[in-house]
Amino acid sequence: MDPTPEMKRNRFPSMNFEAEILTAPHDNSELYVIPSMRSLTAEEYVEAFKSFLDHSTEHQCMDQFNKEEMPNIMAGLGNGKSTINVLGVGSGTGEQDLKMIRILQAAHPGVLIDNEIIEPNPQHVAAYKELVNQAPDLQNVSFIWHQLTSSEYEQQMKEKGAHKKFDFIHMIQMLYRVEDILNTIKYFHSCLDHHGKLLIIILSDSSGWASLWKKYRHCLPSTDSGHYITSNSVTDVLKRLGVEYHVYEFPSGWDITECFIEGDPVGGHMMDFLTGTKNFLGTAPPGLRQRLQEALCQPECSSKKDGRIIFSNNLSMIVVES
């Protein structure tokens, strides 16, 4: 059937949506299209994540941890070896990795650092390589990238029979995308050398995310493909594994004021990041949208500061001994 002029006029560009639903109003006056909800692609996630970083103190919070705690943690690594082996799991674009490597360099002058990176997103890998190319102070550091997920890397290493040990392994804000948390932590902990340390950075149970995921899960769409993991989930696993660990708590905030301004593009990106959904504000049923916006304003999720709405993004830095 050839589309009517009304259908043509009201059709959204199909590249924007996985499915187009043609709906006839009761009076059959016109056919129109409701775009369906869908999860973010890897590229869209990068854009949504950037809006989160630009409006949150996530990296400043990690910087505070790096300044206050990391020098001591790094000083105990390597056990006098001439090369220190580091593995980043889900390293993203590498800013945090390089900050930690510089702390390691300062703690162990002249020591060679062998840095391996597991990161599945090709855009992130390209950005990380560019960062390394521009850095003047990484002469004694070698880099190997594995463009894989953590489970693909684990499978590959097991198939090769590889048993490389690392002095320092970090998993920063990445367990939300992992299917089997217990076995993932167990595997990477088994990759630690004697006196090695595993750093896991994850959202704290005192964060707004924890309240949102536990108390207001019904306000989130099914298109959110991440797992709702917080610090307590990780420490429960570590207790089961019988390993020694220490938790450091650091406050962090995310200014979500724009999420409540109708038609604001920044608010749109932030809601996409929050829900893991493309164009959530434009595609979600109005009732769901309203419920989520109301949940975000609850005192256990957010606080008001100078007329702005600050969502609690508190982090837990968990240092695990070998």
Q: Which residues are annotated as a binding site for substrate?
A: 58, 313
How many residues are recorded in the chain? Answer: 322
Residues making up the annotated binding site are 58, 313
Strands of 253-255's sheet, edge to edge?
253-255, 308-312, 302-305
CB atoms within 10 A of CB 67: 11
User: With b meaning 16 or more CB within 10 Å and e meaning fewer, what string describes 220-242?
Assistant: bbebbeeeebbbebbbebbeeee
* Distance from C-alpha of 25 to C-alpha of 318, rounded to nearest angstrom: 54
- Using DSSP bridges, classify how beta strands 315-321 and 192-203 pair: parallel, antiparallel or unpaired: antiparallel
Is residue 254 packed enough to be buried (19+ CB in 10 Å), middle (13-18) or exposed (0-12)? Answer: buried
Closest C-alpha to 256, from 208, 221, 202 = 208
**Structural contact between residues 176 and 209, judged by C-beta atoms closer than 8 angstroms:** no
Bridge partners for 170 per DSSP: 88, 199
C-alpha 254: how far from its chain's center?
14
Closest C-alpha to 168, from 320, 45, 17 = 320
